[in-house]
């Protein structure tokens, strides 16, 4: 009876032929309601499942079986030439979908049965932004807003210019290691009255707090919030575009891309590279790895430990530059 109730609750009738596309939204609602997955994860699942739906439609697949999965993997790897991590994500999503479907509907296909797929992704070290590039980046913006004198040219709402908001956002990323989705969804009510503590919602809807301790950044953040016209509306987002609506992840990425081009940087800046930089800088300054884990919101410390390898690389480079033995044994 319990199994039948679950089937009816999720709109899957075991007596009907299984239909892939209609059950996508049913599966996503299950993930949202019963597994409490974040909206970002739901969005990713939707995109991955629709990509598979497009494949079986374009290829006129009449059966979803193991051969269909293998053909899809070949399409992802060789025709679309997607990154190994993207291929892995799409296949893992499909695997989860069909496991869920087969649990509630014995007529649902089980295309992964008997398949042994190697989904290992080559490990890559994080690529933090070089310190010199960070200095160049922060130095390209005016500093008037950080001084103790009146706002001067930042009056007349120019404090809301895209340049200032972008700088404030990337400084906050570098100081806290926030994910871009966490950054762009911060609301004014998530900040403590003195702006030194920010409550964020990360993966799996896990809440944590990050802290702003840099005096210059803290001063700018407080003054920015004070100048906001909608400061009395706690549900307003911290970072907005020039139209006064939430600054989207895509728009922020575009700003970083334009900034990279304008400064003629050797590599394009991305929000996640600022997160890598935040973690690496802390590790290099001797901060305990468990504190870094908590700051970044990693569920497992194994994820954080990769930054110690990056720090080792920096150590090797520093020792190579010093070459103390070469100085006494030329």
* Residues marked as catalytic: 179, 203, 272, 275, 298, 307
Sign of the four-CA dihedral 234, 238, 240, 245: negative
Asked if residue 42 lies in contact with residue 32, where contact means CB atoms within 8 angstroms, the answer is yes
Residue 176's nearest CA partner among 218, 141, 235, 126 is: 218
- Tallying the residues shown for the chain, one arrives at 330
What is the full DSSP assignment across 71-97?
A: HHHHIIIIIS---HHHHHHHHHHHHHH
Radius of gyration for the alpha carbons in the chain, expressed in angstroms and rounded: 24
Asked if residue 152 lies in contact with residue 144, where contact means CB atoms within 8 angstroms, the answer is yes
Looking up tokens 């340049």, which residue turns up? 163
Looking up tokens 């200032």, which residue turns up? 164
- For strands 197-201 and 207-211, give the pairing: antiparallel
Tokens of 206: 């896990």
Residue 126's nearest CA partner among 272, 232, 235, 243 is: 272
Separation CA 244–CA 236 (nearest Å) = 9
Tokens of 205: 């809807």
Rounded to 10 degrees, the C-alpha dihedral 238/242/248/254 comes to -130
What's the distance, CA 47 to chain centroid? 16
């Amino acid at each position: 009876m319990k199994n039948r109730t679950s089937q009816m609750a999720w709109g899957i009738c075991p007596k009907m032929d299984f239909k892939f596309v209609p059950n996508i939204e049913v599966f996503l609602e299950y993930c949202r309601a019963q597994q409490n997955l974040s909206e970002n994860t739901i969005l990713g699942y939707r995109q991955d499942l629709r990509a598979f739906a497009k494949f079986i439609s374009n290829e006129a697949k009449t059966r979803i079986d193991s051969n269909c999965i293998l053909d899809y993997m070949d399409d992802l790897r060789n025709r679309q030439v997607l990154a190994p991590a993207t291929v892995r994500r799409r296949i893992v999503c499909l695997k989860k979908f069909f496991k869920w479907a087969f649990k509630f509907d014995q007529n649902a296909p089980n295309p992964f049965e008997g398949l042994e797929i190697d989904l290992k992704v080559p490990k890559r070290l994080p690529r933090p932004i070089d310190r010199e590039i960070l200095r160049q980046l922060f130095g390209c913006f005016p500093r008037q807003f950080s001084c103790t004198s009146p706002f001067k040219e930042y009056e007349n709402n120019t404090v809301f210019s895209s340049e200032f908001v972008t700088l404030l956002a990337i400084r906050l990323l570098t100081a806290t290691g926030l994910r871009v989705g966490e950054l762009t969804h911060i609301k004014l009510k998530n900040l403590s009255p003195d702006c030194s503590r920010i409550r964020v919602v990360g993966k799996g809807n896990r809440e944590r707090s990050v802290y702003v301790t840099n005096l210059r950044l803290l001063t700018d953040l407080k003054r920015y919030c004070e100048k906001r016209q909608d400061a009395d509306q706690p549900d307003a987002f911290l970072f907005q575009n020039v139209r006064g609506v939430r600054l989207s992840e895509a728009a922020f990425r575009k700003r970083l891309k334009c900034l990279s081009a304008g400064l003629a940087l050797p590599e394009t800046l991305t929000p996640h590279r600022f997160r890598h930089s935040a973690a690496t800088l802390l590790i290099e300054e001797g901060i305990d790895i468990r504190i870094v884990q908590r700051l970044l919101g990693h569920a497992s410390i194994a994820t954080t430990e990769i930054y110690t390898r990056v720090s080792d690389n920096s150590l090797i480079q520093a020792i190579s530059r010093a070459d103390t033995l070469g100085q006494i044994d030329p």
